[in-house]
Amino acid sequence: MARRNLDYIFQPKSVAIAGVSSKETSLPRAGQRYLEAVLGYGFKGKVYPLNPKGGEIKGLRIYSNIKDIPGPIDYVISCVPAHAVLQLINDCAAKGVKVVQCYTAGFSETGLEEGKQLETEICSLSHRGGIRIIGPNCLGVYCPRANFSYHDNLPKESGSTAFICQSGGNTTYSICEGGNRGIRFSKAISYGNAADIDECDLLEHLTADPDTEIILAYIEGVKDGRRFNRVLKEAAQKRPVIILKGGTSESGARAAASHTGALAGSDKVWDGLLRQAGAVRVYSFEELIDMAVTFSHSFLPRGRRVGILGISGGATVLATDDCAGAGLVIPRFPKGLRKKLGDLLESETGAILNNPVDLAATIRKLRVYDILNVLSSYEKIDLIMVHFPLGISMLSACMRSEFWDSVLEDVIRAHRKSTKPIMVVIYDLISKGDYEWMLEAQRKCYEAGIPVYHSIGNAAKALDRFLRYYEHKAREGQG
210-269 positions binding a copy of itself, by CB under 8 A = 218, 220, 246-252, 254-256, 258-260
Q: Which stretch binds a copy of itself (CB under 8 A): 7-15, 374-382, 387-395, 463-471?
A: 387-395
Rounded to a whole number of angstroms, the minimum distance from the CB of residue 247 to a copy of itself is: 5
Nearer of residues 311 and 425 to a copy of itself, judged by Cβ = 311
| 159 counts as binding a copy of itself under rule CB under 8 A | no
Q: How far apart are CA 112 and CA 115, in angstroms?
A: 5
Q: How far apart are CA 341 and CA 353, in angstroms?
A: 7
Nearer of residues 162 and 289 to a copy of itself, judged by Cβ = 289
| 177 counts as binding a copy of itself under rule CB under 8 A | yes
Binding mask 402-431 for a copy of itself (x = CB under 8 A): --------------------------xxxx
Considering only residues 349, 379, 477, 478, which one is a binding residue for a copy of itself as defined by CB under 8 A? 349
Residues between 39 and 78 that touch a copy of itself (CB under 8 A): none
| 21 counts as binding a copy of itself under rule CB under 8 A | no
Nearer of residues 123 and 361 to a copy of itself, judged by Cβ = 361
Considering only residues 32, 108, 296, 312, which one is a binding residue for a copy of itself as defined by CB under 8 A? 312
Residues between 122 and 151 that touch a copy of itself (CB under 8 A): 137, 139, 150-151
For residues 162 and 185, the answer to whether their CB atoms sit within 8 Å is yes
Nearer of residues 97 and 357 to a copy of itself, judged by Cβ = 357
Q: How far apart are CA 264 and CA 247, in angstroms?
A: 6
CA distances from 390 to 394, 436, 438, 479 (A): 10, 11, 9, 46
| 176 counts as binding a copy of itself under rule CB under 8 A | yes
Q: Which stretch binds a copy of itself (CB under 8 A): 64-72, 88-96, 354-362, 414-422?
A: 354-362
Residues between 96 and 115 that touch a copy of itself (CB under 8 A): 104-106, 109-111
- Please choose, from the candidates 308, 351, 300, 353, the residue with its C-alpha nearest in 3D space to the C-alpha of residue 326: 308
CA geometry: angle 169, 172, 175, nearest 5 deg: 145
Nearer of residues 47 and 361 to a copy of itself, judged by Cβ = 361
Which three-class secondary structure state does DSSP give residue 95? Answer: helix
Considering only residues 51, 161, 170, 186, which one is a binding residue for a copy of itself as defined by CB under 8 A? 170
Alpha helices in 246-396 (DSSP H): 250-260, 267-277, 285-296, 313-325, 335-344, 368-376
* Residue 235 phi, psi dihedral angles, 5° rounding: -65, -50
Considering only residues 102, 311, 459, 467, which one is a binding residue for a copy of itself as defined by CB under 8 A? 311
CB-facing half-sphere around the CA of 212: CA atoms within 13 A: 27
Angle between helices 313-325 and 456-478 (to 10 degrees): 30
Sequence-ordered list of residues with C-beta below 8 angstroms from that of 23, at least 6 positions apart, any chain? none
| 290 counts as binding a copy of itself under rule CB under 8 A | no
Q: How far apart are CA 361 and CA 394, in angstroms?
A: 11
Considering only residues 126, 161, 296, 320, which one is a binding residue for a copy of itself as defined by CB under 8 A? 320
Cβ-based burial of 26 (10 A; exposed 0-12, middle 13-18, buried ≥19): exposed
Q: Which stretch binds a copy of itself (CB under 8 A): 118-126, 156-164, 346-354, 366-374?
A: 346-354
Is the backbone peptide bond immediately before 70 cis, with ω within 30 degrees of 0? no
| 435 counts as binding a copy of itself under rule CB under 8 A | yes
Considering only residues 332, 335, 416, 477, which one is a binding residue for a copy of itself as defined by CB under 8 A? 332
Nearer of residues 196 and 287 to a copy of itself, judged by Cβ = 287
Nearer of residues 308 and 408 to a copy of itself, judged by Cβ = 308
Count of chain residues binding a copy of itself (CB under 8 A): 89
Rounded to a whole number of angstroms, the minimum distance from the CB of residue 237 to a copy of itself is: 28
| 285 counts as binding a copy of itself under rule CB under 8 A | yes
For residues 133 and 102, the answer to whether their CB atoms sit within 8 Å is yes
Nearer of residues 173 and 369 to a copy of itself, judged by Cβ = 173
| Sign for the pseudo-dihedral over CA of 165, 137, 133, 158 | negative
| 399 counts as binding a copy of itself under rule CB under 8 A | yes
CB-facing half-sphere around the CA of 474: CA atoms within 13 A: 7
